[in-house]
Structure 1
């Protein structure tokens, strides 16, 4: 299961709904019922024989009824064509709302626990030299198949076969935080990851792979770490509340 989060300005959303209020609900099928009604009226009229009605013979009255049915179908066809030009169903509305999204960055976070331990209690973090801080695994959220994207990225980063990696979506959260270049808004998608087999080097309390430092830490250790308190405590709490 996956979900998406949007950061919206209420005033902008209200303006959009006000602007589109006359279009919302137009599915492009307006007039179809009239076409159907006119068609049914015509086919039920064709086999019927009518007596003289007022000054009209039966044949004339029948033709009059057929003309009415034809006009209903023509009117319905006109409405149907017109509605195609103003079609604005729920998918169109959803796309317009998405375009109001103020989220600056979308990242998929991965919480990998030490399930190789007798009592799993730690998560694997990597050290970011730019931030000077320990972080959970983080990858740019993919628009399509983010699950597969995260699974592949994690296997490559740890140097393990992708078939050994299991990833499960947990939760979404929009967070605003201070970065080295200023305040930014992040849409975080949290995944829980498991390895069916851990390389021996990955089991070490602290290790280095391809120039990147890694360390296993409990949530309590993270909360006491000064740099994590400064830069990433909101994510730690997100993981703590979600898992």
Structure 2
């Protein structure tokens, strides 16, 4: 049985209301309507208008149709991937401080500069973290998680080449969750890239698919008080098990 604060549950459900109510392929109606309006504007003669100049009317009508089309396309894109019941349950369980929260930590070393690792700026934690993803299931399957993180990394970093990872191990950790403001028990599973090519090595920071990335050495991360406060347990494990610099 989940042990969840009622107010936190209500807040989460309210945040997800629109996603749960959204229908698949929503927005098609708006897109078709806007296209029909555009065709009408092209084929019709508005020279008989007296209340407003035909040119002004066309400008306003075209503006409205473009706004409707943009909204329809945006809604359609969002509706393609429906927010599932399993995703909702996962997020509900995530606010239970007694549940063990399993994450995959992805360790990627810079192929050009030894000792540097890829990190991203987490908005939720307001901190530089190693790339990480929720584990797929409560029962850990190394093969399934390897396939899953490979897909995630290729998507997030726009990599088309094949990637190879090896499983390093796992570490149980209990610490304060910045996002949910409670102490949680985490089970971190570590995967290290053994063959990966990233075209952003020469940049200090870069953005990809909405995330901000950079390369940092472990010493740089240890010297950051914010990272130490929120993620020292992960740094210690990476230094102990993955670092060869």
TM-score (norm 2): 0.53
1:113 to 105, 109, 116: 109
Query: 1: distance between equivalents of 2:201 and 2:194?
Result: 13
2:237 corresponds in structure 1 to 238
- Rounded to whole Å, the distance in 1 between the matches of 2:118 and 2:186 is 21
Listed as ranges, the gaps of 5+ residues in structure 2 are: 1-97
Q: Determine the C-alpha separation between the residues in 1 that align with 2:216 and 2:99.
A: 29
Q: Distance in 1 between matches of 2:106 and 2:158?
A: 16
Q: Counterpart of 1:4?
A: none
Q: 1:137 aligns with which of 131, 140, 161?
A: 131
* Counterpart residue number, 1:187: 187
Aligned length in residues:
138
Instruction: Determine if contact 1:103/1:187 at 8 Å carries over to the other structure.
Output: no
Question: Partners of 1:210 and 1:202 in 2: how far apart?
Answer: 17
RMSD of equivalent CA atoms = 1.5
Q: Which residue of 2 aligns with 1:219?
A: 218
Give the distance between the partners of 2:215 and 2:191, measured in 1 at CA.
17
- Structure 1: how far apart are the matches of 2:214 and 2:129? 10
- Structure 1 distance, partners of 2:99, 2:209, is 32
Alignment-derived partner of residue 118 in structure 2: 124
Show the counterpart of 2:153: 154
Shift of 1:148: 0.4
Aligned pairs (5 A) from 1:1-243: 103-115=99-111, 117=112, 119-143=113-137, 144=141, 145-161=144-160, 163-180=161-178, 181-199=181-199, 201-243=200-242
* 1-structure distance, mates of 2:193, 2:106: 6
The 1:196–1:174 alpha-carbon spacing in structure 2 relative to 1, beyond 3 Å, is closer
TM-score by length of 1: 0.54
Aligned to 2:89: none
Whole-Å separation in 2 of the counterparts to 1:109 and 1:167: 11
